[in-house]
Amino acid sequence: MPARRPPRQQLSFDDLGTPLAEATLVVVDLETTGTNPTEDAITEIGAVKVRGGEVLGEFRTFVDPQRPIPAYIASLTGISDAMVAGAPHIGTVLPMFLDFVGDAALVAHNARFDIGFLTAHASRHHIPWPSPPVLDTLALARTVYRRDEVRDHRLSTLAAHVGASVPPDHRALSDARATVDVLHAMIARLGPQGATTLEDLASAHRRASPVQLRKKHLAATVPPVPGVYEFLDAQGQVLYVGTSRNLRSRVRTYFTAAETRRRVLDMLPRAESIRTIECTTATEAAVRELRIIGATKPPSNRRGLTPEKALWLRLGPGREGLRAARLAKDESDGSAQIGPLGSRHDVEPLKALLTDAVMGRAAAFETSSRGDRPVDQGHRSRIRRALLEDPSEVLEHAAGRMRGHVTAGHYEDAERIRQLTLTYLKAARRASRLRALAAIPLLIAARPVTEGVIGRRGWELLAVRHGRFSGTALVPARTDPLAAARSLALTGSGEAELAAPLCQGYHQEAEILASWLEGEGMRTVLVEGAWAVPARARFEAEHLTEHFSRTAAAAEA
């Protein structure tokens, strides 16, 4: 009798991704004034943070939508205009919510709706979106519960089916609590089928490809620390670069069915090894990632490949007018620039907007039809002021044109002007941040941290020279950060030699540092030169809304 073969070992993903027992999840639900993320507003956010079946905390707040709540929405949710009166604006609430989320994955029932609203409002208010993993319990329920078991996959139906402790009632926190019970019931159903990690759960309806299974051993030795990872081919050439607060968890997701990006899946067959660079903080890792991408130009990366090719809208010196520029230059000669712009297609519309606002429609038409034209000193000083200091003249002009189009029923034209004006505000705000950072020889700041490689509360220190990353350190709590700051001041002096006006060529790095410096609890420790926080608040989108509202009051008067 032939010898019996040992049973084939079942593929396990226990060592890939984040074990469900250790995964921190934030289950979120929103109430809104409608269904369009770009037009409607959030009225309530409710969220529950869980780990291993235990509730760690809850978040709930009304949000002032700054508009009337439609009657049918008020009837459905029970949220009235009076209930949200005096509530914080979404620009205030969203950073608080993201702080509550931290490094957790987000969970929502019909996540496309809730996450779509959150990301749209983050973009509108220029709040960095951390792109956490997202789990959609609706998609998961369609896999777990067939139609012969439940009549549909609405949250109310599923909550009743699993015996949720809190029935959903179209209020954010109640619906989030109900979603938690539905999620836990589905985890209990999928566990015996081998779904043991967060990534398994997110891709329960898919399977990892043969290439992913064959290459998963590459992630075996990746450490669980902040840093940068590089996928290398057989010749040691860099194929793809990424960063994470936890290298082990992030890299292992590339070998699960949760990874669906085509450029990554096309890269994996050529990958023969993974090189990691451990970093002290996530900020250092983000900067190193950008620098490596800029130096090696990996074929599978898109972001950060050519920071030196930024595009600016520049007001030249003397009588020169507005034009596109590939290089940001020193502004001491009376010139000025805003940007970087998102697209070269923004240049001519922005030139027309500014010229129209300051010099009139005829001048704007002449400029667009004949190219650059000389600008007299009076008009030039007003355009320069709009670029550098005060957008009021442009906002007043744009709001007036928007009101005229709205009155005439030309809503698409009004929206076109609004979007163009927001593009101008964003470019001016970006330039103000970069200008301030580029001017400071050395800035060392500290921010409190509650977790990280120090394993306890403490301080994260960051050194910046002319908008370039110079160094970082972690200091335990109750330790004077000044000594560590003085040590940082002795390092990274070579960064000053690479400084450029408005951080030309490294603006992406500078914007990472600027976002860190704007974080909660930031304190300046050491400064060389004069550090002036830029008055970018003048270029916030809310000011366009205020100007537009005043046009309605003026029309009524």
> Annotated active-site positions, please?
170
Taking the C-alpha atoms of residue 141 and residue 143, their distance in angstroms, rounded to an integer, is 5
Number of neighbours of residue 118 by Cβ within 10 angstroms = 25
Give the 3-state DSSP-derived string for 182-244, with helices as H, strands as E and coil as C. HHHHHHHHHHHHCCCEHHHHHCCCCCCCHHHHHHHHHHCCCCCCCEEEEEECCCCCEEEEEEE
Omega within 30 of 0 (cis) for the link into 340: yes
Beta-bridge mates of residue 244:
227
Residue written as token pair 């940068």: 228
Taking the C-alpha atoms of residue 443 and residue 465, their distance in angstroms, rounded to an integer, is 6
**Helix extents (H) in 478-529:** 482-489, 507-517
CA distances from 390 to 105, 134, 325, 335, 430 (A): 40, 40, 22, 16, 14
Of 37, 141, 142, 134, nearest to 90 (Cα)? 37
Structure tokens at 272: 């023969």
Q: Are strands 458-465 and 134-136 parallel, antiparallel or unpaired?
A: unpaired
Residue written as token pair 């103000």: 432
Of 288, 280, 107, 277, nearest to 202 (Cα)? 107
Of 151, 150, 133, 153, nearest to 141 (Cα)? 153
Taking the C-alpha atoms of residue 388 and residue 16, their distance in angstroms, rounded to an integer, is 50
Q: Are strands 24-32 and 42-51 parallel, antiparallel or unpaired?
A: antiparallel
Taking the C-alpha atoms of residue 303 and residue 305, their distance in angstroms, rounded to an integer, is 6
Structure tokens at 295: 């130096």
Contact by Cβ (8 Å): 242, 255 = no
Taking the C-alpha atoms of residue 259 and residue 253, their distance in angstroms, rounded to an integer, is 6
Contact by Cβ (8 Å): 374, 363 = no
Contact by Cβ (8 Å): 42, 31 = yes
